[in-house]
């Protein structure tokens, strides 16, 4: 599980162009953001996405509750979430739903976080595009998340590291 911030500040990528023609990408630096909460099961490639206005303790608590309900976590189904050490992940004030267990990665090791490897996919839908409003961006990002969700093989290829533990019976 990880969070990623996207916004009205454009994601600029290189593009192909005819020789002698310079491509024009419309940009306007605007600092309005949308937060993507991504939950991934590396072994199956399944993902669960939430698009929320920010990242903080209160919103993370809501995201955990929503995820727990969506996957049916509880006494009969235990879920282990691997997280980085963001302050809101390890706060004593965090309410953790029944059936959810948090495991923290070592400090400063984002490369170990499977969900971190999904962010280039979410950025690709936004590359070299200009959005008038955050609602437009959210609509495109929601469709991108559905596309990723519908391709578990690609998710597995990006997130199931050879050293990642597999399911226990």
CB atoms within 10 A of CB 61: 17
86 domain-assigned? no
For residues 160, 161, 166, 167, the Cα torsion angle rounded to the nearest 10 degrees is -30
The total of structural domains in the chain comes to: 1
pTM for this model (two decimals):
0.90
Cα-trace Rg, the chain: 18
Is 127 inside any structural domain?
yes
For range 12-37, the mean pLDDT: 88
Flag whether 102 is in a domain.
no
Residue 30 lies in a domain: yes
Residue 129 is part of which domain span? 2-71+114-146
Distance, in Å, from the CA atom of 158 to the CA atom of 115, rounded to the nearest integer, reads 9
**pLDDT tens, position by position, 86-128:** 999 999 999 999 999 999 999 999 999 999 999 999 999 999 9
């Amino acid at each position: 599980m990880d969070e990623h911030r996207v916004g009205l500040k454009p994601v600029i990528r290189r593009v192909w162009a005819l020789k002698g023609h310079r491509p024009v990408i419309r940009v306007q630096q605007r600092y309005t953001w949308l937060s993507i909460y991504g939950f991934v099961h590396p072994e199956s490639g399944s993902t669960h996405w939430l698009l929320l206005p920010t990242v903080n303790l209160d919103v993370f608590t809501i995201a955990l509750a929503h995820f727990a309900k969506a996957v049916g976590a509880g006494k009969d189904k235990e879920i282990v979430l691997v997280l980085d050490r963001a302050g809101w992940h390890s706060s004593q004030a965090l309410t953790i739903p029944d059936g959810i267990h948090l495991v923290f990665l070592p400090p400063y090791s984002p490369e170990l976080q499977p969900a971190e490897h999904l962010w280039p996919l979410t950025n690709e839908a936004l590359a070299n595009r200009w959005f008038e409003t955050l609602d437009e961006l959210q609509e495109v990002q929601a469709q991108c998340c559905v596309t990723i969700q519908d391709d578990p093989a690609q998710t597995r290829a990006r997130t199931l590291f050879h050293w990642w533990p597999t399911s226990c019976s």
